[in-house]
Amino acid sequence: MKTLEEILVVESTECEFKETLETKKVKDWLKTISAFANSAGGTMFFGIADDKTVKGLADAQRDSEIISNLIKTRITPLPEFTLTPFRVEGKDVLAVNVPCGNAPPYFYQADGAMMAYVRIGNESNPAPAHRLKELVLKGMNLQFDSLPTTHKQTDLTFATFEAEYKKIRKKAIVPKEYISFGMSKTDGSLTYAGLLFADECPLLQSRVFCTRWNGLTKGSVGDDAIDSEEFEGDIISLLKNSHNFVRLNSKERWKKMSDHRINKPDYAERAVFEALANALMHRDYSVAGSEVHVDMYDDRLDIYSPGGMVDGSLIQNLNIEEVPSIRRNPTIADVFHRLDFVERKGSGLKKIHIETSHLHGYTDDYAPRFVSTPSAFHVILKNMNYSSHSQKDIENVSMDVPMENQRLNTLLESIRENPTLTRVALAQMMCVTEKTIQRDLEILKKSGTIKRVGGNRYGRWEVQCD
């Protein structure tokens, strides 16, 4: 005779318990059958209370027939399910296992109405509009990024994509490859994936909001952020610009040894790039008015993307070594692989962890955190150099000026190399706005680090601290 613990381990990590079979309130448990099929699957146990106390069923055979009949008549399309009887502590228990379905959405129907449910935490709730749309596409064996748009390939340019492709593949892309890559259809219309790689991508949700906050929470020190940028346009530029924002707002400390120096960056650069690529590659683009957010705090970097796990599971409840590779946007993922941005085998989260673990001074306390909800995904990287210890324990910082913002160092080096650079040119080089460059130049001028000689148009910069 199996114990309850053995049954739970074998059956499912997602469980629901019912002390008795409710025949007058069937919606209470049938909606969970719908939710299991529309999400990551699960098992419902009849004859066990919520506290896992075994109560048993008076007539397990009769209840088994009722359960089977109600699933067949009230859930459409009919999901796969198995009914298994158990004897636990001398009492009869029924387990209804429902795997993740291949033909969603699965609706509960009664009184002429139909409703699809999904699992949100440990509850079964009506599927929100964007999740229902995703389920419909999955049931049709389609993904949002493969759907055609009203935009024609000939109406837009792809200079950034084509340049990146030629740099990596050592050859120019030919027109027919846009079709084979899934970026356009045979009639010349772009798919949503193709639209996201266009230079002037008109899709509103193709944006990344980056903010460097002062402190450990938003607005915790003063009213304004230290730095902020809003990027929009093609997905390659979004990836590179947001990665550059993190790099410019990070520091690299160093520790001097007897015969060498140990570099100690805030974050593993490849881990940051991988996290940003995953956010842009796997986010839910069907949610209008949404965007990826990159929030930098003193102690951490938080990368948020719209859309949870494709199968509805919660990443924090899973072992990242065993997370199945289910891609929300397979066309985008395939193109990213062709550009060598990511690997094809779906090892992104593992790679983020490995790259971070290679940093000097790493312990498990600095391990990346992955958190998801049904509508969001967060990658949280710990700042390896954040410390609450006294000043004497803090390593030297590789700064050429007494300022914490690494972007100011980059700006200063650019001016040293070419003193005639204008604000416009500097903004383009550093992938920031002219307003940001103007603000940084004022900081450098007020600190006495640089001064302007001549007018705005034909003048030049002079570095005062060389």
- What are the two backbone dihedrals, phi and then psi, of residue 384, each rounded to the nearest 5 degrees? -65, -20
pLDDT for residue 465: 60
Q: How far is residue 65's CA from residue 94's CA, in Å, rounded to a whole number?
A: 11
Is-contact 171 164, C-beta < 8 A?
A: no
What's 317's DSSP letter? G
As given in the structure block, the two tokens for residue 47 are 């004859």
Nearest to 180 by CA among 331, 64, 361, 314: 331
CATH class of 207-393: alpha beta
Contact indicator for 33, 71 with CB cutoff of 8 Å: yes
- The confidence score (pLDDT) of residue 447 equals 78
Selection from 143-147, 154-158, 401-405 with the highest mean pLDDT: 154-158
pLDDT in tens, 73-98: 999 999 999 999 988 888 999 999 99
DSSP 222: S
DSSP 103-156: SPPPEEEETTEEEEEEEETTEEEEPPHHHHHHHHHHHTT--GGGSEEEEEGGGS
Query: What are the sequence ranges of the domains in the chain?
Result: 4-139, 207-393, 399-463
348 or 344, greater pLDDT: 348
- Long-range contacts, stretch 77-83, CB < 8 angstroms, 24+ apart: 77/103, 77/106, 79/33, 79/34, 79/36, 79/37, 79/106, 80/37, 81/33
Separation of alpha carbons 80 and 303, rounded Å: 37
- Token pair for residue 99? 């795997």
**Main-chain phi, psi angles of 131, to 5 degrees:** -70, -40
Q: Is 234 a residue whose pLDDT tops 90?
A: yes
How many whole angstroms separate alpha carbon 236 and alpha carbon 136?
Answer: 29
The two three-digit tokens of residue 36, written as one number:
């299991």
Q: Where are the beta strands (DSSP E) in 266-306?
A: 292-296, 300-306
Q: What is the pTM of this model?
A: 0.70
Q: Does domain 399-463 have CATH number 1.10.10.10?
A: yes
Q: What pLDDT, on the 0 to 100 scale, is given for residue 4?
A: 63
Please check the confidence at residue 222 and state whether its pLDDT lies above 60: no
Strand, helix or coil at 164?
Answer: helix
Helical segments of 339-399, H only: 348-357
> How is 409-447 classified by DSSP, letter by letter?
HHHHHHHHH-TT--HHHHHHHHTS-HHHHHHHHHHHHHT
Q: Which residues lie below 8 Å from residue 429, measured CB to CB, with a gap of 6+?
A: 414, 421
**At the topology level of CATH, where does 4-139 sit?**
3.30.950
Q: Per-residue pLDDT averaged across 349-362, rounded?
A: 92
Strand partners, 463: 450
Q: How far is CA 89 from CA 8, 97, 398, in A?
A: 14, 21, 67
Q: Which residues have C-beta within 8 Å of that of residue 27, sequence separation ≥ 6?
A: 108, 110
Q: Tokens at residue 129, please?
A: 């509009």
Residue 176 has pLDDT above 50, yes or no: yes
Per-residue pLDDT, 429: 65
Strand partners, 264: 253
pLDDT above 70 for 334: yes
For 401, the token pair is: 């000026």
Which token pair is 274?
A: 């991988």
| Residues 297, 216 contacting (CB under 8 angstroms) | yes
Around Cβ 50, how many Cβ atoms within 10 Å? 9
Helix or strand or coil: residue 292? strand
Can you give the pLDDT at residue 6? 60
Residue with tokens 């009213």: 223
Rounded mean pLDDT, 227-254: 92
| Mean pLDDT for all residues in the chain | 85
Encode pLDDT of 360-406 as tens digits.
889 999 999 999 887 889 999 999 998 743 333 333 333 333 333 55
Cβ atoms of residues 371 and 394 within 8 Å: no
Q: Is the dihedral of CA 68, 70, 72, 77 positive or negative?
A: negative
Percent of the chain with pLDDT over 90: 52
Q: Is the pLDDT at 327 greater than 70, yes or no? A: yes
For residues 42 and 34, is the Cβ–Cβ distance under 8 A?
A: no
- The answer to which of 62-71, 89-98, 435-444 has the lowest mean pLDDT is 435-444
